[in-house]
Amino acid sequence: MRKAMAKDGPIWALGAMSGTSLDGVDAAMLLTDGVTIQSFGPSAYRAYTTAEQDLIRAALGQWPGDPDVAAAAEVVETAHAELLSRFAGVEVLGFHGQTLAHDPAGRGTHQCGNGALLAQVLDLPTVWDFRSADVTMGGQGAPLAPFYHFALARHLGLTEPVAFLNLGGVGNLTCVDPTAPGPETPGALLAFDTGPANAPLNDLVLARTGQPHDLDGALAAQGKADEALVAAVLGDPWFDIQPPKSMDRNDFDGLAEAVSGLSDADAAATLTAIIAAGVGAGLAQLPAPVARVLVTGGGRRNPVLMAELARRVPCPVQPVEDLGLDGDMLEAQAFAYLAVRVLRKMATSGPDTTGAPTLVGGGQISRPDP
């Protein structure tokens, strides 16, 4: 059930995120006015079944109207409706959808799932299609969590530059100067993708062992990284592009072939090392060092990956839980936060986060029928 929406001041927003790792849907509530974080609310998770994952995976790389998109969208919409209907007291929904293709310099960006449909089903004002406006303006359309990362840094009372590292299917990094007046201020943020993260590792483990991911890094722990191959991958010109920059889940789909001659354990260890090396290369592109790296996303649960990060990153690395945050729900919270900003006509991205030429307020707003 929804409550009447306040005209100003903090409201309860519900954000939902279905990431490129294809594991399922995260949902979290946040009390915010679109600037500050007042309170964290309840959260929940709904895993995709194997059959649902297969339908989404079949549509990866496809665009609206392509053969497998409708089936994937139905999975995404059904899973979200099931999960989001459990929440009460929601005033606005932020629905990201499932990224199937991302080509900002070409065809654009494609997140399947109809937010207008969810607005009717859930009887909630729904903000969705967050990325298209940024891409249309010439930005990368990603990453979109940085404005929320700024609010988090301020909420935590941090005073030194800090980096938030999200390790989902793709890795992305946000450098935050919490002393800046706001996220729109030039120099307050610098955000970009660091390279492949869990997506190629999960795909490898699934193909070779039938398991959905390398639980606790157990497979990689038994192997040894091929450092020559790590160096070769980091030699890809993509890593030399100056941020902001973004990538698609499948941009490095050649990694499976690159490690095809390695044992299962060595291949997992090598892909794990590539993730960490990409982060190290990204940090080297920052204009100034950060005091520490706070890790969110599924990758923080992999102790082998966290050890690789500690070895390849020149500052302390710690999970966001060390500061009392929920690393499983940060992205869902981010889309709750962005939904309120869209409602109130605030910027959601800009030159230092997506490379757009100016500040951009993305997102469509769909309201339920009276």
pLDDT tens, the chain, 370 aa long = 455 566 689 999 999 999 877 889 999 999 999 999 999 999 999 999 999 999 999 999 999 999 999 999 999 999 999 999 999 999 999 999 999 998 998 999 999 999 999 999 999 999 999 999 999 999 999 889 999 999 999 999 999 999 999 998 899 999 999 999 999 999 999 999 999 999 899 999 999 999 989 999 999 999 999 999 999 999 999 999 999 888 877 788 889 999 999 999 999 999 999 999 999 999 999 999 999 999 998 899 999 999 999 999 999 999 999 999 999 999 999 999 999 999 999 999 999 999 999 999 999 999 999 8
Measure CA 131 to chain center: 12
Look up residue 285 and give its amino acid: Q
- Sorted by where each begins, the domain ranges of the chain are 11-141+329-366, 157-323
Q: Do domains 11-141+329-366 and 157-323 have the same CATH topology?
A: yes
Which CATH superfamily includes the segment(s) 157-323?
A: ATPase, nucleotide binding domain (3.30.420.40)
Please measure the distance between the N-terminal and C-terminal CA atoms of the chain and give it in whole angstroms: 15
Based on the number of CB atoms within 10 Å of its own CB, is 81 exposed (0-12), middle (13-18) or buried (19 or more)?
Answer: middle
At the fourth CATH level, the homologous superfamily of domain 11-141+329-366 is ATPase, nucleotide binding domain (3.30.420.40)
Which among 95, 109, 115, 81 is positioned nearest to 18, based on CA atoms? 95
Q: Is 350 exposed, middle or buried (0-12, 13-18, 19+ CB in 10 A)?
A: buried
- How long is the chain? 370
How big is the CA angle at 36 (ends 323 and 180), to the nearest 5 degrees?
A: 80
The answer to whether the beta carbons of residues 40 and 14 sit under 8 Å apart is no
pTM of this prediction? 0.93
